[in-house]
Amino acid sequence: MNSIDIFENSIKAYKITEKYHGNYVGLERALFLGWYCELENPCKFCYMSTQKDKIKEPLKARRKLETILAEASIMKRIGWKLEFISGGYGYKIEELNDMIEMIAHIQGCKQYLNLGIIDFEKLNLNNVEGIVGAVETVNPELHQKVCPGKPLENTKEMLLKAKDYDLKTGITIILGMGETEDDIEKLLQMIEELDLNRITFYSLNPQKDTIFEHKTSTTTLNYMNWVSQVRLNYPKLKIISGTWVDKLPNIGPLVMAGSNIITKFPLFSIYGTKYGKTVENEINSTGRELLGSFSDVDVLNSKKELLNSPYVKNIPNESYRINKNLEISEKNLAVLKDMDVNIANKIDSYVKKTTKNAMKYL
């Protein structure tokens, strides 16, 4: 598609997004449980694949529970929803059930999961809003090459099964690994086939020691082309678009192309800095109302309540809604009570470090 058509599609996509989702753009971030994935044949683009052989004790590559819960709490404070709970393959179902329950309780809302192939029979679904399948690319040959350990058919089967359990579903797609424009049609067919509620796009962030290390990223226009075509074909779909610190100027164009949410930031190192403010400026420049903050140090320090937060506004539109219908066991409530001081200390440490960094930019 030529560049003029991409811009024209984006203008239509921007207007359609407003019609079906209102005038908001939110910020989200995946919550990682750890840095080890036990998938035998790991994905060729993934940072964790470069760490696998270096990690001799996988359990030590997991984050401490208080650290995970502290991050979940701060995200709520600054008005960011969790994009999903993620962390590679290898967690026992009992561990996941407990962690999901506690994260949902701290956040006050149900969560999406991106944790490989889910065993629906064993997973406690009471605090789960939806399941994300890490599709990564819809091009079958490319998929076989870059994700040899997670066949597409298994992911699709899981997503279809999730619907039987009344769960919402989504997929992740990475652009820049070698897909072509013809693959957009395959993506549109997959959204239809799986009846998806949301999609997350990422622009490949080439990782050191992977086959993509020296590759360039996808262009902003190509990214807009994928997002706008999905938006025009699926007006109600929630579209989450990932960026990175070296690509922040693509945020405005991605919002214009139909994105509801912007994701994939190193939150604590850039909150309140010129990078965090650039994210806000990019979103504000499109005329959309930003949900959440990426710069307000008083909000981060709980000195003031954030009003433009999805947790406060409770926007009825599905793309920004908070689903509060939760359950937590007595056992996990007691665990949280025991960890109260540790979580508070961890929050304090994150906030202090982030504030100190942000003060340099005042």
List of residues contacting ligand SF4 (CB under 6 A): 37, 39, 42-43, 46, 48-49, 88-89, 134, 150
Residue 34 or 130: the one with the smaller Cβ distance to ligand SF4 is 34
Q: Which is nearer to ligand SF4, 39 or 347 (CB)?
A: 39
Least CB distance from residue 48 to ligand SF4, whole Å?
Answer: 4
Q: Which is nearer to ligand SF4, 158 or 255 (CB)?
A: 158
In whole angstroms, give the CA distance from residue 289 to residue 54.
44
Other beta carbons within 10 angstroms of residue 223's beta carbon come to 26
Task: Give kind and range of the element (H or E) at residue 140.
Answer: helix 140-146
Place of tokens 């309540």: 305
Name which of 30 and 358 has its Cβ closer to ligand SF4.
Answer: 30
Tell me the closest approach of the beta carbon of residue 152 to ligand SF4, in angstroms. Answer: 13
CA distance 73 to 78: 9
User: What whole-number distance in Å separates Cα of residue 239 and Cα of residue 258?
Assistant: 7
What is the rounded distance in angstroms from the CA atom of residue 343 to the CA atom of residue 88?
Answer: 24
- The 3-state DSSP class for residue 128 equals strand
Residue placing its CB nearer to ligand SF4 in the complex, 89 or 361 = 89
Closest approach, Cβ 33 to ligand SF4, in A, equals 11
Would you say 235 and 22 are in contact if contact means Cβ atoms under 8 Å apart?
no
Residue 105 or 264: the one with the smaller Cβ distance to ligand SF4 is 264
State the minimum distance, in angstroms, from the CB of residue 23 to ligand SF4.
34
Q: Minimum distance between the CB of residue 85 and ligand SF4, rounded to whole angstroms? A: 13
Specify the residue for token string 């665990």. 335
Identify which of residues 115 and 262 has a Cβ nearer to ligand SF4 in the complex: 115
The helix, strand and coil proportions of the chain, stated in percent and rounded to the nearest 5, come to 45, 15, 40
Which of 32, 2, 9, 3 minimizes the C-alpha distance to 233? Answer: 9
Nearest distance from residue 200's CB to ligand SF4, in Å? 13
Q: State phi, psi for 297 to the nearest 5 degrees.
A: -70, -30
Min dist. Cβ of residue 49 to ligand SF4 (A): 5
Nearest by Cα to 39 from 133, 115, 139: 115
